[in-house]
């Protein structure tokens, strides 16, 4: 084949023992068509966008060709799904093509998702529909632009093949880029098999790749656990600060590198309500907005269990170490959340009452059915000009007096800081996005693509979300929540 220039694969996971994965190539598809290439990301990865967009490049992105240097594998993992342990899950519809080292020297997985069945597919077809593929593309890129650690989307291709879900849908393949695809569930896979040697190899792989500082620590595996706890605590705080609901925080969707991964039924909240759930399969609200920190902690406890044989020879001692490490989660999470809420409120200094001030605003938002994103954004305008207070107040239509009670407390707090209104507004606008992937906008973009092969709305939405903090008058409508008559929004698992 013609060489695919600029694909400098440098694989490390495929060098691990064979029981870590299954070796297999993607299953070719009938008629690959590139519908989106993330050129900026390609360049950061040291890849040549033109080569990727060429006929050979698209064949690779569709899984029809295996590029030189690629060692395609489907990764083995287990996981707790909604609290129930499944000893074998694995990449049922994804194949890791290989790793590249990006321009910043960071190793990145290049994975195809929707690339055909694997030995881990169970009853699934190994495929993905164009809607969920574009959904992951939109939301993961939006998260990246918001500054939240996340897997990225490099490309989307349609396959020219129908797949069957509730009805017939166009098939597609997403090229996903991740710091790695190691999950809590990867450790659980080996722990469930009492394969301590594999656990050690996996832990060493992860330390070398993500947490090299742990290698220097007196107890490297404890340091690894604490580092993962720190990243997950920070991650989940960032989710809450932008109103993101992951929707399916199973341990197999909990990244050891601390990135948001697996955009299935995720969605952003409009009106602030801590009990918000979008996913149709989350009947109990296990993964509701405000439950996410508790679930992250629970997932990390499952991770700690897998590390017990590595933490100490004596099992009581190992348990004590794990529990001590797990105990650091709360302070880290609360610290990250409080710091983030201060930034959202435009506070430059720290006072003991700040958390309560933030919480009381959130409570008022719940009572008022106020839009989470717009409340903080408009509050930035109010910081510079009290004439804008009315714009914020209008968002609390259901109960504006709860905002009226809160507002003077915030003003008193601001008065104890020297910053002027303009610099406060600038700081608040840098912390509070104006544009998030509003559910109705995402749905419109997906429907146009899936039903009419019209990618215009998808492209425009991506352009809006690429600069979420920068107000652009031509995109004013994208800042608005769904019209009230749209009803309750539901998401479905990304299959
Ligand atoms: P998820 O809910 O996307 O995290 O997936 C949970 C598990 O189901 C993983 O092992 C996936 O690989 C697998 N899976 C999801 N969809 C499919 C599919 N269409 N074909 C095969 N396996 C799938
Ligand atoms: Mg998953």
Using the mean position of ligand 2's atoms as its centre, give its distance from the Cα of residue 166 in Å.
Answer: 20
Nearest CA to ligand 1 atom 11: 92
Among candidate residues 144, 135, 146, 36, the one with its CA nearest the CA of residue 441: 135
**pLDDT < 50 stretches in the chain:** 1
| Pocket residue to mutate for ligand 1, from 124, 139, 186, most atoms within 8 A of Cβ | 124
- At 1 the pLDDT is 45
Neighbours of 463 (CB within 10 A): 13
Q: Cα–Cα distances in Å, from 90 out to 8, 61, 126, 441? A: 26, 21, 12, 32
- Output the CA 92–ligand 1 centroid distance in Å: 5
Burial of 368: CB neighbours in 10 Å, binned 0-12, 13-18, 19+: buried
Share of the chain residues as helix, strand and coil, in percent rounded to the nearest 5 = 50, 15, 35
Q: How far apart are CA 113 and CA 122, in angstroms?
A: 16
DSSP secondary-structure letter at 125?
A: -
- CA angle at 59 for the pair 53 and 61, rounded to the nearest 5°: 70
| Spacing, Cα 319 to ligand 1 middle (Å) | 32
How many Å apart are CA 354 and CA 345, to the nearest integer? 9
Residue 347's pLDDT is 98
* DSSP label of 235: H
Helices marked H in 147-254 — which ranges? 184-192, 196-210, 212-215, 220-242
Q: Cα of 261 to ligand 2 centre, how many Å?
A: 8
126 lines ligand 1 (CB under 6 A): yes
Reference 378, options 366, 390, 368, 367; nearest CA is 390
Ligand 2 centroid – CA 217 distance (Å): 32
The predicted-structure confidence for 246-277, as pLDDT tens digits, reads as follows 999 999 999 999 999 999 999 999 999 999 99
Question: Rounded CA gap, 229 and 300, in Å?
Answer: 7
Best mutation site among 95, 113, 255, 495 for ligand 1, i.e. most ligand atoms within 8 A of its Cβ? 495
How many C-alpha atoms does 305 have within 13 Å on its Cβ side?
Answer: 18
Q: What's the rounded Cα separation, in Å, for the pair 226 and 331?
A: 12
Q: Is the dihedral of CA 79, 85, 87, 89 positive or negative?
A: negative
Does the CB atom of residue 89 touch ligand 1 within 6 A? yes
- For atom 17 of ligand 1, the residue with the nearest CA is 124
Q: How far is CA 338 from the centre of its chain?
A: 21
Residue 495 burial class via C-beta count within 10 angstroms: exposed 0-12, middle 13-18, buried 19 and up? middle
CA separation (Å) from 458 to 45, 154, 267, 398? Answer: 23, 15, 16, 33
pLDDT of residue 5: 61
C-alpha dihedral, 261 to 263 to 265 to 266, nearest 10°: 80
H-type helices in 28-129, by residue range?
39-44, 49-53, 55-62
The pLDDT score that the predictor gives to residue 491 is 83
Q: Residue 354: is it exposed, middle or buried by C-beta count within 10 angstroms (0-12/13-18/19+)?
A: middle
Residue 394 makes CB contacts below 8 A (sequence gap 6+) with 400
What is the tens place of the pLDDT at every residue in 314-336? Answer: 999 999 999 999 999 999 999 99
User: How many CA atoms lie less than 13 Å away from 120 in the CB half-sphere?
Assistant: 25
252 is catalytic: yes
Question: What's the distance, Cα to Cα, between the start and end of the chain in Å?
Answer: 33
Question: Looking at residue 493, what is its pLDDT?
Answer: 66
Q: Give the pLDDT of residue 106.
A: 96
Radius of gyration of the chain (CA): 23
Q: Is 446 helix (H, G, I), strand (E, B) or coil?
A: helix
Reduced to 3 states, what is the DSSP secondary structure of residue 447? helix
Cα–chain center distance at 163: 26
Instruction: Collapse the DSSP code of 259 into the 3-class scheme (helix H, G, I; strand E, B; otherwise coil) and give the result.
Output: coil
What pLDDT does 7 receive? 82
pLDDT attached to residue 483:
86
Contact 247, 124 (CB under 8 A): no
Residue 389's Cβ-count burial label (10 Å; 0-12, 13-18, 19+) is middle
Q: Are 163 and 127 in contact (CB under 8 A)?
A: yes
Tokens, residue 442: 């995402």
Q: Which of 89, 92, 172, 248 to mutate to test the pocket of ligand 1 (most atoms within 8 A of CB)?
A: 92
Q: At 164, which helix (H) or strand (E)?
A: strand 152-164
**Which protein residue's CA is at the shortest distance from atom 13 of ligand 1?**
92
Q: Which of 91, 252, 371, 381 is catalytic?
A: 252
């Amino acid at each position: 084949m013609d060489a695919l220039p600029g694909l400098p694969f440098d694989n490390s996971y495929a060098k691990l023992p064979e029981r870590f994965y299954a070796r297999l190539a993607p299953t070719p598809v009938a008629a690959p068509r590139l519908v989106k290439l993330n050129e900026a990301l390609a360049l950061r990865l040291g890849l040549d966008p033109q080569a990727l967009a060429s006929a050979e490049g698209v064949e690779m992105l569709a899984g029809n060709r295996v590029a030189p240097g690629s060692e395609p594998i489907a990764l083995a993992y287990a996981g707790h799904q909604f609290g129930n342990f499944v000893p074998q899950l694995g990449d049922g519809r994804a194949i890791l093509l290989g790793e590249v080292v990006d321009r910043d020297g960071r190793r990145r997985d290049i994975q195809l998702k929707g690339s055909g069945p694997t030995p881990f597919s169970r009853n699934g077809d190994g495929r993905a529909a164009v809607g969920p593929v574009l959904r992951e593309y939109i939301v993961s890129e939006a998260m990246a632009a918001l500054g939240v650690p996340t897997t990225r989307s490099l490309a989307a291709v349609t396959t020219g093949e129908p797949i069957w879900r509730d009805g017939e849908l166009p098939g597609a393949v997403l090229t996903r880029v991740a710091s790695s695809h190691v999950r809590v569930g990867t450790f659980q896979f080996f722990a469930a098999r009492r394969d301590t040697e594999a656990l050690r190899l996996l832990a060493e792989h992860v330390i070398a790749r993500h947490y090299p500082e742990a290698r220097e620590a007196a107890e490297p595996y404890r340091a690894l656990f604490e580092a993962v706890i720190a990243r997950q605590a920070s991650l989940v705080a960032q989710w809450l600060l932008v109103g993101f609901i992951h929707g399916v925080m199973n341990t197999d969707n909990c990244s050891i590198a601390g990135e948001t991964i697996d955009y299935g039924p995720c969605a952003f909240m409009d009106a602030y309500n801590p009990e918000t759930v979008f996913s149709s399969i989350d009947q109990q609200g296990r993964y509701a907005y405000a439950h996410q920190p508790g679930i992250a902690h629970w997932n990390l406890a499952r991770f700690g269990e897998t590390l017990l044989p590595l933490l100490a020879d004596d099992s009581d001692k190992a348990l004590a170490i794990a529990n001590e490490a797990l105990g650091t989660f709360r302070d880290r999470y609360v610290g990250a959340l409080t710091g983030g809420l201060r930034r959202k409120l435009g506070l430059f200094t720290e006072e003991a009452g700040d958390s309560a001030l933030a919480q009381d605003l959130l409570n008022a938002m719940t009572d008022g059915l106020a839009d989470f994103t717009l409340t903080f954004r408009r509050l930035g305008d109010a910081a510079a000009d009290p004439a804008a207070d009315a714009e914020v107040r209008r968002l609390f239509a259901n109960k504006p007096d709860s905002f009226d009670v809160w507002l003077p407390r915030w003003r008193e707090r601001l008065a104890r800081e020297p910053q002027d209104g303009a610099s406060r507004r600038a700081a608040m606008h840098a912390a509070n996005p104006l544009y998030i992937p509003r559910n109705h906008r995402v749905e419109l973009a997906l429907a146009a693509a899936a039903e009419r092969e019209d990618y215009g709305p998808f492209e425009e939405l991506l352009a809006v979300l690429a600069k979420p903090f920068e107000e652009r008058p031509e995109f004013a409508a994208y800042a608005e929540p769904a019209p009230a008559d749209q009803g309750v929004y539901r998401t479905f698992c990304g299959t």
